[in-house]
A and B are shown apart, each in its own frame.
Chain A
């Protein structure tokens, strides 16, 4: 328990500093975790309590992601969504997969690294668009929909990772059935749910917390991974009560996710992992792959190289979802690789996104 308190206090200081400097906090939580954990000072180690908190972090992260997945909105925007998303997927999955395979990972491990290469950090990307005041750019809409596409690919990846012995098609069928079941409850119970969530006492928070936890727990009994179940639950509520749920689930997500990040860092084992050269190569590739996919999307959709640069730099940062993949997959070498990718791309990406105007001006000069 004192380990969690120590880790949280370090993260609190880091949160203050990173907010003050306007840089993303996720990479620093991981670095703090590495420093405190077995690769560093060995002050904090994971136990069953921390495991419970990190599970909650993952569950609330994915529940939140589900709340943003409004199926009807996705269908309305399908053209833009598919065009940009598929380019993004092909380029990054390919580069990540090949790189990992060359470094000696197995096929499955390489695929996980490939997907982790592909999924940008939605939190960091959206925050950077807002903080750098770029929402009005036409590219912003493309970027936002790319994030949604990435979420969908992540769901498929999670299903394949967690399926165990069962048939993936059968698993998807179960998830879709659960989604429909939640959607019906969400639709016909909208009034009741709204009534509960609107109250200003302790009921809305208690309701949100226990509903998410109960569903994660319930998933085990029907053989569906809790990760997919909470996404389905979130997505089913997206059309009816998304905002109210977001408001009440946010405090849980904010706190547990920090614990999730720092304990991911604590679990990273640098000694048995990858060499410095491999880390540098993989970081450069991770930066380059999003830049390339951004350029292609910019040219194809907006017809401008400059749009491509903007899309590239704003999507470079990998974060929460890549780490989620690493955690669920649970291989030490893959985790180390993804930790390196997340730390370098999120820090460098944040600076590139902030100074994208300078980069674009320089590119103009050169051309």
Chain B
């Protein structure tokens, strides 16, 4: 529940905006931010665990409010910081806008029969397609960063990371779609 560090990381001085944080007894912590264009945004981390976000446009009397749960607030936060999580059924694309629009896709695949019994090294997946298998989910157990000697079993689910193109090439080569 320690959000102050997270917020203070965006130094108010650097961006020229006015950020005020107040702790309100019984309510929680309030962060009020005045943008360069004169709009006001207030965020309340409440003791109830929820978060209320108020926006008050410049020269406007009526404020708008949204109440978010902790997980919703995290999602909103990651959108605002630029790490957009575009969640598909089984694939996620993360874009880091600050790093010259670096985009990384991750997707899960069920390991096909022809790979079962082979080690990660033998299959030469990375050499052939450029993707990396960063985790294997096997029944109740997860293996993060499987070693080259790792043997696939039937029913394994692999989490594969790479560019979208590389993932497509992995699908053609190994999954056979």
Contacts and interface: CB of A to CB of B under 8 A. Distances in A.
Contacts of B42: 135-136
B23, B32, B40 interface centre (most CB from chain A within 10 Å)? B23
B87 interface: no
Interface in B10-52: 22-27, 30, 32, 40, 42, 44, 46-48, 52
A130 B40 CA distance: 19
B109 to A, nearest CB: 35
Contacts of A140: 24
A147 B26 CA distance: 9
Interface in A60-109: 68-70, 73
A144 B54 contact: no
Nearest to A250: B47
Given A136-B63, A243-B1, A129 B27 contact: yes
Interface in B52-75: 52, 54, 56, 63, 65, 67
A253 to B, nearest CB: 13
B56 A126 contact: no
Nearest to A73: B23
A338 interface: no
B52 A148 contact: no
27 contacts: A68-B25, A68-B26, A69-B25, A70-B25, A73-B23, A73-B25, A126-B27, A130-B27, A130-B46, A130-B48, A133-B54, A133-B65, A135-B27, A135-B30, A135-B44, A135-B54, A136-B42, A136-B56, A136-B63, A136-B65, A141-B24, A141-B30, A144-B24, A144-B25, A144-B26, A243-B47, A246-B47
A135 B36 CA distance: 23
Contacts of B63: 136
A243 B32 CA distance: 22
A145 B63 CA distance: 22
Interface string A247-274: 0000000000000000000000000000
Interface string A323-346: 000000000000000000000000
Interface of A: 68-70, 73, 122, 126, 129-130, 133, 135-136, 140-141, 144-145, 147-148, 243, 246
A148 B25 contact: yes
A130 B51 CA distance: 10
B24, B42, B47, B48 interface centre (most CB from chain A within 10 Å)? B24
A145 B25 CA distance: 8
A147 B63 CA distance: 24
A136 B20 CA distance: 13
Contacts of B44: 135
Interface in B62-93: 63, 65, 67
Interface of B: 1, 22-27, 30, 32, 40, 42, 44, 46-48, 52, 54, 56, 63, 65, 67
B20 to A, nearest CB: 11
Contact of A144 (B27, B40, B67): B27
A70, A122, A129, A133 interface centre (most CB from chain B within 10 Å)? A133
Contacts of B1: 243
Given A136-B42, A136-B63, A130 B25 contact: no
Given A135-B44, A144-B26, 14 more contacts: A68-B26, A69-B25, A73-B23, A73-B25, A126-B26, A126-B27, A130-B27, A130-B48, A133-B52, A136-B63, A141-B24, A141-B30, A147-B26, A243-B1
Contacts of B25: 68-70, 73, 144-145, 147-148
Nearest to A145: B25
A231 to B, nearest CB: 14
A69 B65 CA distance: 28
A69 B26 CA distance: 9
A141 B22 CA distance: 9
A246 B23 CA distance: 16
A243 B63 CA distance: 30
Contacts of B40: 136
Return the 9 tightest CB-CB contacts between A and B, nearest first: A136-B54, A133-B65, A68-B25, A136-B42, A144-B24, A126-B26, A135-B44, A68-B26, A136-B63
